[in-house]
Amino acid sequence: MAPIHMTAVIAPAEGKIDRLEELLVAHAEYARANEPGTLHYDVQRGVNRETGAETLIVWERYADKAAEAAHFNNDAFSKLIQTLGAEALTTGAPSVYVTSSAGGIANYNS
């Protein structure tokens, strides 16, 4: 089975991007230590070129559906979601995309 690729785009509430980033990076460290099927969990900070609005983008890759389920169905993820709500860190639910490669450069040495 091919790995599962996901991208989550998360809009932080005003003044909350640093705290949101802190929690997501900590969650990435949890995944690295405890989820062998989580192959990639990269937190990126983005800025909209037109509006200047900041956002956080999480690129995720799971070995298979079981690894994806293990990532989303554990106490650490539940606690993360509870904290996001309790501290009102986002403007709403993230936009989540399940993706597959249509072509391009996956790795280059230049």
- Domain, as residue range, for 40: 1-55+90-99
Which token pair is 75? Answer: 């106490």
pLDDT attached to residue 20: 98
Q: Which DSSP letter does residue 60 get?
A: E
Q: What is the number of other CB atoms lying within 10 angstroms of the CB of residue 19? A: 15
The pLDDT confidence band at residue 103, using thresholds 50, 70 and 90, is confident
Q: Is residue 3 part of a domain?
A: yes
Tally of domains in the chain? 1
If one compares 107 and 9, the residue with the highest pLDDT of the two is 9
Give kind and range of the element (H or E) at residue 65.
helix 65-72
| Predicted structure pTM score | 0.89
Q: In what order do the strands lie in the sheet with 4-10?
A: 38-47, 54-62, 4-10, 95-99
Handedness of CA 96, 99, 103, 109 (dihedral sign): positive
* Spatial separation of the C-alpha atoms in residues 107 and 97, rounded to whole Å: 21
Which token pair is 40? Answer: 């990639």
